Amino acid sequence: MAHDHDHTHDHQHGHGHDHDWAELAPLLESQAELFTPLYERALNWLAKEVTEPGLIVDAGSGPGVISCLFAETFPGARIVAVDGSEPLLERAGDRAGRQGVGDRFGTLAGELPEVLGELDYPADLLWASRSVHHLGDQAAALAACAARLAPGGTLAVMEGGLPPRFLPRDIGFGRPGLQARIDAVEEERFGRMRAELPGSVAVVEDWPALLTSAGLHHTRSRTFLLDLPAPVTDRARAYVVTALTRTREVVGEDLDADDLATLDRLLDPGDRASVHHRPDVFVLAAHTVHAAVRPV
């Protein structure tokens, strides 16, 4: 989640705590499913530049929704989903089986970036979405990813973009601008999360420059939108409820009393003005992909 401002949906306690990530599985999965149109556009963009990859690695795959989209977009490729959480990888494997691509789908469990050393073959395409920012030394992580590329292989990192929006600025109660203030406390929280990661190193999060420093070239970045205007589907509404519930859990105590009361009202299913019922709920999100190539 780029200096992905999707922190709400993100992990807050650093890496490697399987049960924490596994607890987030339904959220990660429903989010990735809802965001599928965005990922499809990102993958189609990559498909124009990466011809017939043999091996695609999804580093920090989570439950594998995007890994399976790779299998669909690149029918000739073998996909390996890599993650620190075995329960999430199990979900990824199950999903691949359900989608009929299990025969060319594998998983690899372990700590990033070290675990990449266990791959049998170098990757033609290595994708890492919203996972690098969970690693203490992001520059070293990118260098480790780059080292696992075949000559001419592509590293694509989804990091950064914009904080998502679900509601108008003025929702008719509370102080207008609630989501902007939630972003601010989530940004603080994200900073603390990064500072507490093992081996945490502060770095300028200039992703193209970091890819260049990792020895890659032909760097380019592109941002993909998810634009689901009101009135939203039940699925999109359920996602907004889950996302704001997680915000309440994670940064609730950092909001002032008025904003907390507003958030509670927004989450109260018995309240007609809550996100469970209000007609003006929407989903607008922007994620950036930075891609670069290992010289031949």
Ligand X SMILES: C[S@@+](CC[C@H](N)C(=O)[O-])C[C@H]1O[C@@H](n2cnc3c(N)ncnc32)[C@H](O)[C@@H]1O
Interface residues with ligand X (CB under 6 A) are 1, 10, 15-16, 21, 28, 32, 60-62, 66, 83-85, 88, 111-112, 129-131, 134-135
At its nearest, how many Å lie between ligand X and the CB of residue 265?
28
- Asked if 99 and 72 touch (Cβ cutoff 8 Å), the reply is yes
Enclosing H/E stretch for 129? strand 123-129
At its nearest, how many Å lie between ligand X and the CB of residue 16?
6
At its nearest, how many Å lie between ligand X and the CB of residue 218?
23
Q: Which is nearer to ligand X, 83 or 259 (CB)?
A: 83
Alpha helices in 58-206 (DSSP H): 65-73, 86-98, 138-147, 178-195
Q: Which is nearer to ligand X, 60 or 163 (CB)?
A: 60
Q: How far apart are CA 16 and CA 26, in angstroms?
A: 18
* Surface-to-core class of residue 199, CB atoms within 10 Å of its CB (0-12 exposed, 13-18 middle, 19+ buried): exposed
At its nearest, how many Å lie between ligand X and the CB of residue 237?
20
Q: Which is nearer to ligand X, 66 or 240 (CB)?
A: 66
Q: How far apart are CA 44 and CA 34, in angstroms?
A: 17
* Residue 123, phi then psi, degrees to nearest 5: -90, 140
Q: Which is nearer to ligand X, 71 or 171 (CB)?
A: 71
173 secondary structure, DSSP code: S
Q: Which is nearer to ligand X, 138 or 262 (CB)?
A: 138
At its nearest, how many Å lie between ligand X and the CB of residue 120?
18
Q: How far apart are CA 59 and CA 85, in angstroms?
A: 12
